[in-house]
Amino acid sequence: MSEKAPTITGVARMSDDQIREAYDPAVWTIARNAYGASLLSDALRHTDGGARQWLSHRLLDDGLDPVASGGPYLHVLLSARPCLPKIDIPLLQRLVAAGMDVNRLEGKFGRPIQTAAQFLRPPEVLDALFAFDGLDLLRVDSAGNSVRSTARRGRHFQPGLYDRVEAYLVEHGIDAPAPHPADAAGWATAEELEVTHRPDRINEPSPETGATLLLGVLHNPAVDIRTTWVPRLLAEGADATVSLVDGRNALHLALVGTGRRDPKRDAEVVQLLVAAGAEVNASADAKIGTPLNVLGRYTNKPERELTPLYDALLNATGLDPRAKVGRSKTAWDHLQKARRTRPVLVERVEQMLGD
């Protein structure tokens, strides 16, 4: 029967000097922290650069096997704060050389490149990642996300990641089918939209997502693209009544509080969509609800700035806060959960209902 591994806590709070003084290779290479992880996890995320560098390399020098110990060490390193490229890049290269999987999937952090994107790693760290052979940029996880789709969604915020993904696919001869124009509109630049736009295909849905060009443009995080292209597409005959395969329609997309948002300009888009026939009470699944529920989850602006959006939706003809969502609930039932974060919206809907 093997001995239980010793537990060592508080390494993250120790200074570089304290770590060097306390270090015992026979113990530290097999010890676990309070969460059951090896001390390599504490070393890689240490906030002191000297401690991070010395302890990480020393543990590896003294025989700690990162693969055998099972930790998601690439993800740990790529999420460590602060990012220290001169220290982190050699550690990244050493971990991969020791057998760590550059494509490992780790819950909400995704693959290592997705973690690097999430934690806004600088260009030199991205360069180090894309220098590895065998990157799987196309395989999707259970939520339908791939490294490429992550890069596409973040293109307007991290263009370098998108450019590296596309260049890697070309350089390594990886066959990556071109997306449908409606899907590509979700990350395209204004110049790319102009080049690819074909008015005769304006209402052609993507076979994968059901998006038309209008819905694709509404997915785009660039406010200038949304506020320029939505009125243009509606004038050219875009159908505002269409929905994605998951049930979200144009208003759901117009009211999402992510990306670059301008409540006043986005409110004008909402008004145009309502006037063009977008269903104000359309319900996707129970988690999404109606456009009103999406508005209740708009969290990246203080509520005092959201009055134009509130006016645009709450004044829409036919809005019914008691529209059915799921089997037994209504939009109002779900909206009341936002009473603490969006009290003004909840109060205005309450007044509409006379409750």
pLDDT tens, position by position, 235-294: 999 999 999 988 999 999 999 987 789 999 999 999 999 999 999 999 998 889 999 999
**pLDDT 10s digits, 55-107:** 999 999 999 999 999 999 999 999 999 999 999 999 999 999 999 999 999 99
The sign one gets for the Cα dihedral 179, 185, 187, 188 is positive
**Which pLDDT score, from 0 to 100, does residue 112 have?**
98
The strand pairing partners of 7, in sequence order, are 32
pLDDT mean across residues, the chain:
94
**Which pLDDT score, from 0 to 100, does residue 8 have?**
95
What is the rounded distance in angstroms from the CA atom of residue 87 to the CA atom of residue 84? Answer: 6
What is the rounded distance in angstroms from the CA atom of residue 215 to the CA atom of residue 182? Answer: 7
Q: State yes or no: pLDDT of 299 exceeds 80.
A: no
Decide if 330 contacts 296 (C-beta within 8 A): no
Q: Count how many Cα atoms sit within 13 Å of the Cα of residue 300 in the half-sphere of its side chain.
A: 10
Task: Over range 291-305, report the average pLDDT.
Answer: 92
Which pairs count as long-range contacts for 347-350, CB under 8 Å and 24+ apart, including other chains? 348/310, 348/314, 349/292, 349/314, 349/321
Task: Over range 101-125, report the average pLDDT.
Answer: 95
**Which pLDDT score, from 0 to 100, does residue 3 have?**
64
**Which pLDDT score, from 0 to 100, does residue 19 have?**
98
What is the rounded distance in angstroms from the CA atom of residue 158 to the CA atom of residue 156? Answer: 6
What is the rounded distance in angstroms from the CA atom of residue 98 to the CA atom of residue 110? Answer: 21
**Contact residues for 293 (Cβ-Cβ < 8 A; gap 6+):** 325, 331, 334, 335
What is the rounded distance in angstroms from the CA atom of residue 93 to the CA atom of residue 43? Answer: 16
pTM of the model: 0.80
Give the pair of three-digit tokens for residue 127: 């360069």
Domains of the chain are 181-353 (1.25.40.20)
**Which pLDDT score, from 0 to 100, does residue 268 have?**
98
What is the rounded distance in angstroms from the CA atom of residue 271 to the CA atom of residue 233? Answer: 15
The residue written with tokens 């059901």 in the block is 210
